[in-house]
Structure 1
């Protein structure tokens, strides 16, 4: 990872606060410009949610947080910045005024991105500003997608930076109103308004149709890949032949928009209050974030959808011998406590890291050897909770022939010892499952870590099994 760099956030609402959190928690310094006297409080609340959820996506620690500052002067805020993100309200006259100042004050090589959900780059640059569309999705600190529209060289620089902070830049080659994702969202939104207007469904029934059905499929496969499967063995061509004619049937009202009369607005608001009014917005945000972390971690395991983006970002994070990470919400019970099984999971991650360090894995050129557990002993001293920052220090207690004994010390950031795990392991030939001596290079590194003298020259050669 590179040293700390600086991002400037212009407009500190929900989206601007999410951008600030995304950069800050990935080690960037962040300067915020927003005349709203409540901006610092609002961004502080967004950051609290981000600190609770984003680190839980990863099995490595994110970089140390950057420095957050608030400014009354725009020129001061954008000084020495590498990225400037404008997230002011969707008024073209306001954006023109802001972009003119940003183009004048920001460093020449800084990327100036606009969070606009609808305006095209040609709209934004009509008065000569240098700006591209960098349209994210809420919550910005968790959802990786950013739609990039604008000059190719600016998009290339923006893509590199966004990947560095764990996002997925979608480069849109041709500008169009509302870009790609919001055009799709509007189609669903428009039809949903008609369903409420015509008393076919309530807001809750529409949400249930999405989250209990196709929403789950879309999270991992999107639209076209989902329909490819629906075509069976014959694939997409069969699906199109079978269901394509239905597009001519008058199922939807996508070409019409219902009048947003006060009666319809009141109806939708009342139904929404009945659906979710028992929870505050902050409670709903935390519920959303916890669910997203669980879904994204599942996608990460299968390398599907956004999971692959998280894995690629995690691979670029430092990987010291000591495991450092945040305990995710999904590891905790209803009281927020972490079970013994999850504590052992931490020890297993530290053990996997040790294998990488000594070269006992495929990446180290040792594809035929592994470690099998003989015994594991867990000693609890202090409980872990969801959200705790922990480190796992691994010590090689004994490295003797085919046997290996490790001690994992699990502690919180403040030094509180939470648990120790002792593991008795044996080197095995993965092809046969039989115990075997480790490769000489692996054995030498383990003995060195255990403080044992070097192996004598007449020691068993690599691959020899014990008699």
Structure 2
């Protein structure tokens, strides 16, 4: 179902960090989003979550996300779900409330719309009373960055939901049978319960627990999960050896998972007090931005190895085509500057101007057909010389646009002149690059294939009469040096 501007529509029922995260994920992937939340502070809270998402989600990608959709706050649930392709409920975890909300959604939403619930514990069979139809679509905070969403329910509806969720860069995981708390939260509950005992018994503080996770197995789990991590721990003999070595420990009294610490004010005060000492100097918004920057860095690292959550981003990015021209030149890069590209001055580090130029070169190579398929045939271009001019400051969150001018494409050489523009249109830098065409198997230079050579000749003709101010300079050159 298309909205007036041709976009697909998602409806978000209920707010908080989860509802706001869903709204941001859909909105920044081009969906129009309608919201119903009776909280009088809903618009402010959604706005703050979406602002964080605008700052971080595009920084995961090296291609631009779709044009942002329209965000509309509605006075009634019925208005919000009207014409929606996808409806996501994120109201508090009270079953009676969810029954009432899902009955209303089912009555008002289009018959073909997917209806998902963010519930972390309830099963579809518990949600679908009063003739309601819904599946579990359980995400993880922050929804706009973390790809996992657990799907539970009728198979065909889960398949429809999975297609939508993949289109916005998420990783749907279908749970084989419905069970309380699904998969991930059952694992988290085990760690949470054991952690409460460790704090209550004075063995560790909340900070000690967090350090144990983030400095140790949390890093492994981020890219390899549990079973593959343990397979490696078994050495060359693999999982069978690991199970033989460590299996007997399962019968040792290492954990208190079958017991629950008494939940009382004393325990709450203990945990809350230590948590306040641990991170209370920072506001929640500061902690969220710190978390988001760290997640962007980790996910971008996983993207380089095309692994785990990074592969989800790479697969999604492959669907994000971009094209166009700027000042008559082909656009070869659109990229939002992540925090990891900035230095102690808050500016984009000089090395990343060259990184942006390198990615623009990759973009130009795709234009002439020297793409991944060409490289797989054993042919590519190698950079042999570059020259960068730093003309304007660039900061975290700035949107860079690069254009590429072909100065020469004769024989084995490809001579490019990239211009990097900030989002405000100011020229931030130029990057001049000389590359040689190379046979990857022989490790020697050679002339490009005919189709690539033809494309180069075409671009050279188009760009021949366009001035390239700043090209051919040497380091430190001043007016009148020539």
Give the TM interval when normalised to the shorter protein.
over 0.9
State yes or no: 1:29 paired with 2:60.
no
Q: Answer yes or no: is the 8 Å Cα contact 1:360–1:366 preserved in 2.
A: no
Q: Residue by residue, what CA displacement relative to the aligned partner does 1:291-339 show, whole Å, maximum 9, x if unpaired?
A: 0000111111112211111110000101435211111111111332112
Q: Residue by residue, what CA displacement relative to the aligned partner does 1:89-113 show, whole Å, maximum 9, x if unpaired?
A: 0000100100001000000110110
Matches within 5 A, 1:269-308: 269-308=272-311
- TM-fit CA distance, 1:223: 0.7
Q: 2:71 aligns with which of 68, 71, 86?
A: 68
State yes or no: 1:133 paired with 2:136.
yes
Which 5+ residue runs of structure 2 have no aligned equivalent?
324-330, 464-482
Matches within 5 A, 1:76-95: 76-95=79-98
State yes or no: 1:439 paired with 2:439.
no
- Correspondence for 1:20: 23
Q: Match of 1:400, SS?
A: coil
Q: Answer yes or no: is the 8 Å Cα contact 1:356–1:363 preserved in 2.
A: no
- Correspondence for 2:345: 335
- Correspondence for 2:407: 397
Q: Answer yes or no: is the 8 Å Cα contact 1:31–1:68 preserved in 2.
A: yes
Matches within 5 A, 1:58-457: 58-320=61-323, 321-364=331-374, 367-451=377-461
Change (3 A) 1:366 1:89: closer
Q: Residue by residue, what CA displacement relative to the aligned partner does 1:3-23 show, whole Å, maximum 9, x if unpaired?
A: 521000001111000000000
- TM-fit CA distance, 1:429: 2.4
- TM-fit CA distance, 1:365: 7.5
Partners of 1:241 and 1:196 lie apart in 2 by 31
- TM-fit CA distance, 1:341: 1.1
Partners of 2:371 and 2:242 lie apart in 1 by 44
Q: Match of 2:373, SS?
A: coil
- TM-fit CA distance, 1:25: 0.4
Partners of 1:362 and 1:62 lie apart in 2 by 21
Partners of 2:271 and 2:462 lie apart in 1 by 72
Change (3 A) 1:365 1:306: closer
Change (3 A) 1:130 1:340: same
- TM-fit CA distance, 1:390: 1.0
Q: Answer yes or no: is the 8 Å Cα contact 1:359–1:366 preserved in 2.
A: no
Displacement over 4 Å in runs of 4+ = none
Change (3 A) 1:232 1:64: same
Partners of 1:227 and 1:439 lie apart in 2 by 47
Partners of 1:362 and 1:169 lie apart in 2 by 27
TM-score by length of 1: 0.94
Aligned length: 452
TM-score by length of 2: 0.92
Q: Residue by residue, what CA displacement relative to the aligned partner does 1:9-45 show, whole Å, maximum 9, x if unpaired?
A: 0011110000000000001000010111100000000
Change (3 A) 1:232 1:334: same
Partners of 2:312 and 2:441 lie apart in 1 by 33
State yes or no: 1:10 paired with 2:7.
no
Which 5+ residue runs of structure 1 have no aligned equivalent?
454-467
Q: Residue by residue, what CA displacement relative to the aligned partner does 1:37-84 show, whole Å, maximum 9, x if unpaired?
A: 100000000011101110111111111100001000211111110100
Q: Match of 1:405, SS?
A: strand
